[in-house]
Homo-oligomer: A and B are copies of this chain.
Amino acid sequence: MDHSNLLKNIAKHITLNGDEINYFIPLMKYKEAGKKSFLLKEGQVSKTISYVHSGALRAYYLDKDGNENIIMFAINDWWVTDMYSFSTGQPALLNIDAMEDSAVFELNKNDLEDLYLKVPKFERFFRIIMQNSYVREQLRSIQNLSITAEERYINFVNKYPQFVQRVSQKQIASYLGITPEFLSVIRKKLSKGS
């Protein structure tokens, strides 16, 4: 099992010694998630937070009309869960599934609580992760307020060029909060305009 990416991810924010690494690593359970398999389904309680080792996942909300509204993509080196459910113990609102064959390391909530006590540096690590997540969400809602779907699409292409290659237009439309038809119109307009 190759933990090097995971450890590099942790090392971005905190420095662990050998003992701490040895305590931490066994808590991270390797799990493969084949394309279209679910890490979490709406209504389940999310008991884990996952580090994405390879592949690509998405977290989406199914609205009452059955439409998938993608809340986030999670590719290599991202952490993902339904934080609402993980945090409060309430049933998840989100579905998380694999858009490609993927592999993650799962960290159990109880193990994380123990980890916080044994290696308090992880409070710092996840404080930073949570802070960044909060900032990202807030920037996203500000963008939704202030710019049109077309501008959001342009921003998305610039910010996540990897995704544009890897995920379908349907998924992108869902993330942008528009219909695939309208994204199609936007793309047509942009291809003419340039």
Contacts from A to B (Cβ < 8 Å):
61, 63-64, 69, 71, 83-84, 87-88, 93, 116, 120, 123-124, 126-127, 130-135, 137-142, 144-146, 177
Contact = CB atoms under 8 A, between A and B. Distances in A.
Interface SS majority for chain A: helix
How many of these chains are in the complex?
2
Given A83-B138, A140-B141, 12 more contacts: A61-B145, A61-B146, A69-B145, A71-B138, A71-B141, A83-B134, A120-B123, A120-B124, A123-B124, A127-B127, A137-B138, A141-B141
Contacts of A132: 87
A146 B87 contact: no
A43 to B, nearest CB: 15
B63 A138 contact: no
A113 B132 CA distance: 16
The 9 closest A-B pairs by CB, nearest first: A127-B127, A130-B130, A137-B137, A134-B134, A123-B123, A63-B146, A123-B124, A130-B131, A133-B134
A49 to B, nearest CB: 11
B84 A135 contact: yes
Contacts of A120: 120, 123-124
Contacts of A123: 120, 123-124, 127
Nearest to A124: B123
Contacts of A138: 71, 83-84, 137
A139 B92 CA distance: 11
A145 B83 contact: no
A20 B33 CA distance: 46
A84 B145 CA distance: 16
